[in-house]
């Protein structure tokens, strides 16, 4: 696309969903370094998410994670988000932090544990009804550590059974997003380890079941844009959990480790017309800011996604196609690299000016004094976190 007005319009309409858990304390299994001023409840998380939206203008949605974001009154949480200019997005289920789940959740050999896990998933759909959320995001830590520990095929049947029960419960506008991950916490088998497994389950369920690509959930060297292209072709790409990784599921800021990969992924999305909000791909962040300040890190992440999207939108599709059809390998590659090597920061600054925003959202946030204000105000209570 060479029409800069169209590029800017597409960027204005491209929304990025923020993870509530990115605002709370997080860490590794070695240490959680608490930060002053972190939210103490989901309402304060929504306040912080609203800051990210205020400075970027394209992040008006915050995903929640249950039970981390459990509240007595979800209508009040939605109203609070709305009053701050944002809304509640995907509801993420958590069936990996209870003692009962040592050997799995919905794939556990004991039907009592499976029932408990299923009840939680159904509770998440109840919450979606109250928050008006469209998406239920499912990631399972289920798997085994040792050969012979459990029956691999039987576990697939248990997974399918639970997913079908949840699928039945979905309302007309609701979707189930199934996320895969190669390994961790299980080290021998994982019950939904890859996009093929996720796709098989989703295909068996129906249209409202879609696959989520978490960019940190593959083996090193896996070509994620091929997966994205195939899922888009199958009409089964429900969304992304964006983050970057150097080694495993690092959950670092998206675009930090490999901005070129992010561009290649977004190029597939743009080509398929899937950037359009009506297409139904949820562009979510799934990150943890263990050592850096959380709100500016989220702002930076949104900006990193925007840069990749802008570059993908700048690809001269006609020239690329012509070179591809002519078998001109070098020219085709050059067309793509031309877009990638464009400095889109001036374009994004211009876009922000048009949207009434500061050209540099991170600086504007830092100058606002909000960071100092929350450190001063949020004393007492217990800081939110996922308790690694």
Contact residues toward ligand RM4 (CB under 6 A) are 65, 92, 139, 179, 181, 214, 241, 249, 286
Alpha carbons 123 and 94: distance in angstroms, whole number: 11
Residues of this chain that interact with Mn ion (CB under 5 A) are 214, 241, 286
User: Is there a contact between 166 and 125 (Cβ–Cβ < 8 Å)?
Assistant: yes
Query: Measured between alpha carbons, how far apart are the two ends of the chain, in Å?
Result: 45
Tell the smallest beta-carbon distance from residue 276 to Mn ion (Å): 23
From ligand RM4, Mn ion, none, which one binds at residue 249 (CB under 5 to 8 Å depending on kind)? ligand RM4
Select the residue whose beta carbon is closest to Mn ion and give its number.
241
Tell the smallest beta-carbon distance from residue 378 to Mn ion (Å): 27
> Both tokens of residue 66?
């249950």
Tell the smallest beta-carbon distance from residue 92 to Mn ion (Å): 8
Alpha carbons 312 and 308: distance in angstroms, whole number: 6
Tell the smallest beta-carbon distance from residue 116 to Mn ion (Å): 22
Select the residue whose beta carbon is closest to ligand RM4 and give its number.
139
Query: Helix H segments across the chain?
Result: 4-13, 42-56, 74-83, 111-131, 152-169, 195-205, 224-233, 259-271, 294-313, 317-325, 329-340, 345-354, 361-368, 370-377
From Mn ion, ligand RM4, none, which one binds at residue 283 (CB under 5 to 8 Å depending on kind)? none
Tell the smallest beta-carbon distance from residue 170 to ligand RM4 (Å): 19
From Mn ion, ligand RM4, none, which one binds at residue 17 (CB under 5 to 8 Å depending on kind)? none
From Mn ion, ligand RM4, none, which one binds at residue 181 (CB under 5 to 8 Å depending on kind)? ligand RM4
Pick the closer one to ligand RM4 by CB: 95 or 274: 95
User: Is there a contact between 86 and 60 (Cβ–Cβ < 8 Å)?
Assistant: yes
Pick the closer one to Mn ion by CB: 44 or 241: 241
Pick the closer one to Mn ion by CB: 284 or 374: 284
**Are β-strands 143-144 and 189-190 bridged in parallel, bridged antiparallel, or unpaired?**
antiparallel
Alpha carbons 61 and 125: distance in angstroms, whole number: 18
């Amino acid at each position: 696309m060479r029409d800069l007005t169209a590029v800017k319009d597409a960027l204005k309409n491209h929304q990025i969903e923020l993870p509530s858990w990115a605002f709370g304390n997080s860490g590794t299994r070695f240490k959680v370094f608490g930060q002053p001023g972190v939210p103490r409840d989901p309402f304060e998380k929504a306040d912080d998410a609203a800051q990210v939206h205020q400075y970027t203008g394209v992040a008006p949605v915050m995903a929640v994670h249950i039970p981390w974001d459990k509240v007595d009154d979800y209508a009040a949480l939605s109203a609070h988000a709305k009053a701050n200019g944002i809304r509640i997005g995907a509801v993420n289920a958590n069936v990996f932090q209870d003692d009962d789940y040592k050997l799995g959740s919905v794939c556990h050999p004991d039907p009592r544990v499976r029932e408990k896990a299923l009840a939680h998933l159904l509770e998440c759909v109840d919450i979606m009804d109250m928050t008006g959320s469209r998406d239920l995001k499912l990631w399972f830590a289920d798997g085994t550590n040792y050969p012979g520990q459990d029956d691999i095929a039987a576990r697939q049947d248990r997974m399918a059974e639970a997913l079908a029960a949840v699928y039945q419960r979905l309302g007309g506008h609701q979707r189930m997003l199934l996320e895969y991950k190669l390994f961790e916490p299980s080290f021998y088998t994982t019950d939904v380890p890859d996009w093929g497994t996720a796709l098989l389950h989703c295909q068996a369920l129906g249209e409202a079941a879609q696959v989520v690509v978490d960019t940190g959930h593959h083996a090193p060297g896996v070509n994620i844009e091929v997966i994205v292209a195939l899922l888009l072709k199958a009409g089964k790409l429900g969304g992304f959990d964006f983050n970057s990784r150097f080694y495993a599921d690092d959950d670092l800021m998206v675009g930090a480790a490999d901005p070129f990969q992010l561009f290649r992924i977004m190029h597939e999305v743009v080509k398929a017309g899937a950037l359009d909000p009506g297409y139904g791909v949820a562009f979510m962040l799934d990150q943890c800011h263990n050592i850096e300040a959380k709100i500016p890190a989220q702002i930076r992440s949104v900006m990193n996604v925007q840069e990749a999207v802008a570059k993908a939108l700048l690809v001269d599709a006609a020239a690329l196609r012509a070179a591809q059809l002519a078998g001109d390998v070098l020219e085709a590659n050059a067309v793509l690299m031309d877009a990638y090597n464009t400095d889109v920061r001036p374009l994004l600054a211009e876009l922000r000016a048009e949207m009434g925003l500061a050209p540099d959202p991170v600086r504007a946030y830092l100058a606002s004094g909000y960071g100092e204000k929350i450190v001063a105000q949020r004393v007492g209570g217990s800081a939110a976190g996922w308790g690694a």
